[in-house]
């Protein structure tokens, strides 16, 4: 089978549906890859790179669309300026197309694709389930958009993001508010915190509070019992009372923060207006608003989609091509998403549109000319006690019976408890023996040793695993003190038992220090490329 990678004709679009790297991976699935000339130039992939990856360069779009069995695109099909035809008309009868389609907004496009008897999968309709995370192109692009939004804000902001104390004076850190904590919002939070800003975030879904706080940001919360979690992880439309309180919060924050980044979108609906004109006018001179929902109308009332301009001292960034401004990285991520989809669909040898596959069925918007959007809702089946039934595809497996030969009496708990008592008695006898035979100086040191072991065990046991690595740095310092104490005990006494304990302390402390450094080094290597 042949896969076609056309050059995107949407104005300003720099992404491409396959990079030389992902093209090689597609070839391993058995596909022949055809690439239109200069298709990857906007993402810094020239024709020579595709030729080196064993791809066939096709001189024009008409030839590529005609020869390809599967066409991979980024933007939905539209009028081709060079061919003077709609890209759907270039698609041969019965062919397949995988691209962003936005079926809820492009009903006419679905009708046009259906007239070509095409089979179309929309990458924006991939279900938000765990198994489909590797195919989730929306998350891939949103991640880039959130990162780029902070970079654009920093470019238009006239100050440092992080606070500094210099010889010329103190510079306060920038205050950033992020509205909407989806993939884009989380990426923006991480980037802004990495640059040293004070970050606040708001979302109607209370489940994201821990994620926000784990990134070091402050979660702005309303005293409402209402939760905004909708289907597929998206937010839902809130009540009028909640929206009123929400807008009051934004109005208060707008007067204080320096940068606002909005990411709020509801699938199939116009972007809600969250930052009013009055809020913009209340912001400080030099503030910045980056509206990631600009393509759907914008979350800010003053946003001009596709433009960057100043409104009464506030720079409003309404760019709609943020992922395209990182075309090389975006193309690599999107191409990988497409590769995983084609791999799950069987590759070239076993390629099929499996309607029983929840992921494929969710993304399928046109099948052999028939419009299949929206997909049917998947009803969750509740399994009850298994019973024997006729052989069918939905048959519930019977539980495996447990064969009991004879009643087994439970093992009395005193067995384990008895062994513990024995150990305690032995330890007690040993301590009494040491107390009778050892000198008073040894006893005072021994009591401190026992208490230190107990307290140390309690401290280490109650520390979260995530803090074990920094804890090793502290214990290394303590172990150094122990080693010095052991050396003093060895050199300053002739008592055999004290000398033995001092030597053990030196040995254990040395092991702890060397082990601490070794484990810390291995942990740090995990974060190196």
Q: Which of 136, 203, 258, 321 is catalytic?
A: 136
What confidence score (pLDDT) does residue 514 get? 82
What confidence score (pLDDT) does residue 417 get? 52
Q: What is the 3-state secondary structure (H, E, C) of 343-402?
A: HHCCCCCCCCCCCCCHHHHHHEEEECCEECCCCCCCCCCCCCCCCCCCCCCCCCCCCCCC
CB proximity list for 336: less than 8 A, separation 6 or greater: 22, 25, 134, 140
Tokens of 364: 């399928």
Query: Has 136 been annotated as catalytic?
Result: yes
Taking alpha carbons only, the member of 291, 22, 294 closest to residue 153 is 291
Taking alpha carbons only, the member of 320, 293, 305, 287 closest to residue 156 is 287
Query: Has 413 been annotated as catalytic?
Result: no
Region class of 6: left (phi > 0), else alpha (psi between -120 and 50), else beta: beta
d(CA 483, CA 326): 54
Q: Which of 139, 140, 324, 479 is catalytic?
A: 139
Please give the helix or strand (H or E) that residue 35 lies within, else none: strand 32-36
Residue 277 · residue 197 · CB < 8 Å: no
Q: Which of 234, 311, 344, 357 is catalytic?
A: 234
What confidence score (pLDDT) does residue 467 get? 56
What confidence score (pLDDT) does residue 406 get? 39
What confidence score (pLDDT) does residue 232 get? 52
What confidence score (pLDDT) does residue 413 get? 43
d(CA 199, CA 216): 8
Handedness of CA 455, 458, 464, 466 (dihedral sign): positive
d(CA 283, CA 318): 17
Q: How would you label 425-451 residue by residue, b for 16+ Cβ within 10 Å and e otherwise?
A: eeeeeeeeeeeeeeeeebeeebeeeee
**10-residue averages of pLDDT along the chain (529 residues):** 96 96 97 97 96 96 94 96 92 94 93 95 93 94 96 94 90 95 95 96 90 94 67 61 90 96 84 94 96 93 95 96 96 97 95 94 95 80 40 39 40 51 77 71 72 70 59 68 81 74 84 79 68
Q: How far apart are the first and last CA of the chain?
A: 36
Burial of 396: CB neighbours in 10 Å, binned 0-12, 13-18, 19+: middle
Q: Cα torsion for 200, 206, 209, 211, to the nearest 10°?
A: -110
H runs (alpha helix) in 195-326: 209-214, 240-254, 277-282
Considering only CA atoms, give the Rg of the chain. Answer: 32
Taking alpha carbons only, the member of 113, 94, 93, 90 closest to residue 36 is 90
User: How many CB atoms sit inside 10 A of residue 516's CB?
Assistant: 20
Q: Which of 133, 164, 368, 473 is catalytic?
A: 133
Query: Has 133 been annotated as catalytic?
Result: yes
- DSSP per-residue codes, 88-151: HHHSPTT-EEEE---TTT-HHHHHHHHHTT-EEEEGGG---SGGGGGG-HHHHHHHHHHHHHHH
Please give the helix or strand (H or E) that residue 485 lies within, else none: helix 468-492
d(CA 485, CA 506): 8
Q: Is the peptide bond before 99 cis (omega within 30 degrees of 0)?
A: no
Handedness of CA 19, 24, 25, 26 (dihedral sign): positive
Max CA distance (Å), the chain: 103
């Amino acid at each position: 089978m042949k896969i076609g990678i056309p050059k995107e004709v949407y104005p300003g679009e720099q992404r491409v549906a396959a990079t030389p790297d992902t093209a090689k991976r597609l070839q391993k699935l058995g596909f022949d890859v055809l690439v239109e000339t200069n298709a990857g130039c906007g993402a810094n992939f020239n024709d020579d790179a595709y030729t080196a990856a064993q791809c066939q360069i096709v001189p024009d779009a008409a030839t590529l669309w005609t020869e390809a069995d599967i066409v991979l695109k980024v933007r939905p099909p539209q009028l081709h300026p060079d061919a003077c035809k709609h890209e759907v008309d270039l698609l041969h009868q019965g062919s397949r197309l995988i691209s962003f389609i936005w079926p809820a907004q492009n009903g006419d496009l679905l009708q046009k694709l259906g007239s070509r008897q095409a089979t179309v999968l929309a990458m924006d309709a991939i279900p938000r389930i765990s198994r489909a995370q590797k195919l989730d192109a929306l998350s891939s692009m949103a991640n880039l958009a959130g990162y780029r939004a902070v970079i654009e804000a920093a470019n238009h902001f006239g100050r440092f993001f992080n606070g500094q104390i210099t010889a010329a004076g103190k510079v306060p850190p920038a205050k950033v508010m992020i509205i909407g904590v989806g993939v884009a919002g989380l990426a923006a939070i991480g980037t802004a915190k990495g640059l040293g800003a004070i970050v606040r975030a708001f979302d109607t879904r209370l489940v994201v509070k821990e994620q926000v706080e784990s990134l070091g940001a402050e979660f702005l919360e309303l005293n409402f019992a209402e939760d905004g979690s909708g289907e597929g992880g998206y937010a839902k439309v809130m009540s009028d009372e909640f929206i009123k309180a929400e807008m009051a919060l934004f109005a208060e924050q707008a007067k204080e923060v320096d940068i606002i980044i909005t990411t709020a979108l509801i699938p199939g609906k116009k972007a809600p207006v969250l930052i009013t004109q009055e809020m913009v006018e209340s912001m400080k001179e030099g503030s910045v608003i980056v509206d990631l929902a600009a393509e759907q109308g914008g979350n800010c009332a003053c946003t001009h989609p596709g433009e960057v301009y100043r409104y009464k001292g506030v720079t409003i960034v309404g760019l709609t091509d943020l992922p395209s401004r990182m075309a090389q990285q975006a193309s690599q991520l999107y191409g990988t998403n497409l590769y995983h989809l084609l791999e799950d669909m069987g590759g070239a040898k076993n390629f099929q549109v499996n309607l029983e596959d929840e992921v494929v069925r969710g993304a399928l918007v046109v099948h052999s000319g028939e419009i299949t959007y929206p997909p049917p809702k998947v009803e969750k089946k509740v399994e009850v006690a298994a019973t024997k039934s006729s052989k069918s595809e939905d048959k519930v497996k019977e539980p495996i019976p447990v064969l009991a030969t004879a009643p087994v009496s439970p093992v009395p708990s005193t067995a384990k408890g008895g062994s513990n008592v024995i150990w305690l008695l032995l330890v007690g006898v040993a301590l009494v023996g040491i107390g009778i035979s050892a000198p008073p100086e040894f006893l005072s040191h021994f009591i401190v040793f026992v208490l230190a072991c107990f307290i140390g065990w309690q401290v280490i046991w109650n520390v979260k695993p995530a803090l074990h690595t920094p804890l090793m740095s502290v214990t290394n310092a303590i172990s150094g003190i122990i080693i010095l104490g052991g050396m003093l005990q060895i050199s300053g006494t002739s008592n055999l038992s004290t000398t033995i304990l001092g030597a053990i302390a030196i040995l254990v402390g040395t092991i702890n220090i060397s082990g601490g450094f070794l484990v810390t080094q291995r942990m740090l290597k995990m974060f190196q490329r």
